[in-house]
Amino acid sequence: MSSEILSTLGQSQEETEFYTPMPAGYRKGHHKYVIVVGTVMSGLGKGIFSSSLAKLLQDKGMRVTPIKMEGYYNIDSGTLNPYRHGEVFVLDDGMETDMDLGTYERLLDQELSASNFCTNGQIFSIVLKKEREGSYLGRDVQTIPHVTGEVKLKLRELAIKADADVIFVEVGGTVGDYENAVYLEACRQLAYEEGEASVVFVALTYVLEPGTLGEQKSKAAQLGIKRLMEMGIMPSIIACRATNPVNEKVRQKISMYANVPMRRVVSMHDVESIYLVPEALREAGIDREVLTLLDLHDRVDQRQEDQARTKWRWFVDRIGRAQKHVTIGVTGKYTALRDAYASIIKAVEHCGVHLGCDVQLKWIDTTTIDESNVARRLADCHGIIVPGGFGVRGTEGKIECIRHARESRVPYLGLCLGFQMAVIEYARNVCGMTGANSTEFDPQCATPVIDILPEQKKIEGLGGNMRLGGKDVEVKPGTMAARLFSNASRIRLRFRHRYEVDPQFIESLERHGLVFSGKHPTQPIMQIVELPQDVHPFFMGTQAHPELTSRPLRPQPMFMGFVQASIDFAHQHHQPQTQVV
């Protein structure tokens, strides 16, 4: 680029304070935005509200796409401790994200991508890269307009990529957090630039109900909304989270304080299942309010809405009406925090609804399990899940749980680490491989049936040697896996792991009866393992995370097979109970 052109561009930059890069193909006025912001405290369910409202518009025939904007400086969620941030949700393209992306995928039945997830780390990396490349034309790079400009650019690029009528923007954290201030300012600017009927702000707040007072209090909600208004953002809708339905008096106070009509102040109290929230919002009329605020009534397809609503009602009408009951043990090391296994909980819930069964999950910390107590601790379980995880803590307890499931013919489903533990257990106790283990837990073990494959060892850096995202799996005909997936020869599952079954042990394991029913199409990478059904009614493990792809209307086949087997086990082992008066 000539110095004359650079000089001209630099001069133009000096003459304006606007920095709003507009991607090619962007249609201003066509793409609309619903921006959901939290007040009072985090963890109230912004993702549930946002995805539920997005579903209502999707049902009406509109193209919707979500984005979660996180304030932390990590590039992704891959290295976050589950105790701090819940489970890591992996997208098909390999992006490791916040667990809210799982909520969006399940409720919208969409496969999202890295474009639907944003962190401060990503934004600032882009800004610094552009600064080094001279993209800011000699300007001093500042939060406003450059950082906020990159946030707006990301939103508009997503709008184009998804060809979306409405983009649902969930701003992580709570108003007043330093780390999300850039996002809120960018969204304020976006509303200014897009013009009327283009952006709707929703404030999700919390109505306190202290037990000692016996009444609902709205002051914290009022002050949180005030903090948002001080930033120049006027919410059009207030969603009030609470334990019980928010009463008229509290809604009136919030309405008056926030300049929001009563019809747009909606109670979002606790319900039995998050899948009841879309219908609750529809009955409150919030979907129609959004259509009016964004001038979208002319884009509604009434026939599609009727069909979508009928399908969804079939599912939600079955919630809480189960005639059968089973208990499934989840044996892991993060059992103190349910969010660490959010997708497993939802996958089991989907199956329970479809099979008419109330599935109770029993959380078992495997650090306290050994040979002497495993039978007693799992005595009331009709099925056992060993979920994924990293590190050696609790692994020997998991192996004992798997041995118990195999020998007692209790239905078993191993996920990722649970797959690896099943192979180790079988190698030790059936194949007689003394010292069988994983090099993750014992680098010097005598029989490393689980190891990092040579091509992975070449990749350096934490997270760099992970197999991430959607991968094709070749399914062996005639196996239980084939039957579960309707005899498909190739399926797609999502992965997040480093270690594999070492190919040198596969022949010996198979000779002793273990069946590798799913593998990589071209490499000796085992991805599904099982025992024949004449040996065990349901014993299956997968290196993948099938829970990530379960949907309310399309339960994941492995989970469906497992829950059905657990129901059958419970029926076969049912002992009539004598009621004690």
Report, as residue numbers or ranges, the catalytic residues: 416, 545, 547
Which residue in the block uniquely carries the two structure tokens 């490393």? Answer: 448
Q: What is the dihedral of CA 534, 538, 543, 546, to 10 degrees?
A: 140
Non-local (6+) Cβ contacts of 22 within 8 A are 153, 156
Q: What is the dihedral of CA 416, 422, 423, 425, to 10 degrees?
A: 140
Please state, in angstroms and rounded to a whole number, the distance separating the CA atoms of residues 59 and 109: 11
Please state, in angstroms and rounded to a whole number, the distance separating the CA atoms of residues 400 and 407: 11
The one-character DSSP state at 141 is P
Partners of 117 in beta bridges: 68
CB atoms within 10 A of CB 541: 29
CB atoms within 10 A of CB 263: 14
Please state, in angstroms and rounded to a whole number, the distance separating the CA atoms of residues 104 and 68: 10
Q: Where are the beta strands (DSSP E) in 153-285?
A: 166-171, 199-206, 237-242, 265-269
Q: Helix (H, G, I), strand (E, B), or coil: what is residue 164?
A: coil
Please state, in angstroms and rounded to a whole number, the distance separating the CA atoms of residues 324 and 570: 9
Partners of 267 in beta bridges: 240
Residue 374 has which token pair? 């495993």
Q: Helix (H, G, I), strand (E, B), or coil: what is residue 10?
A: helix
Q: Which helix (H) or strand (E) holds 515?
A: strand 515-519
Residue 145 has which token pair? 């307009």
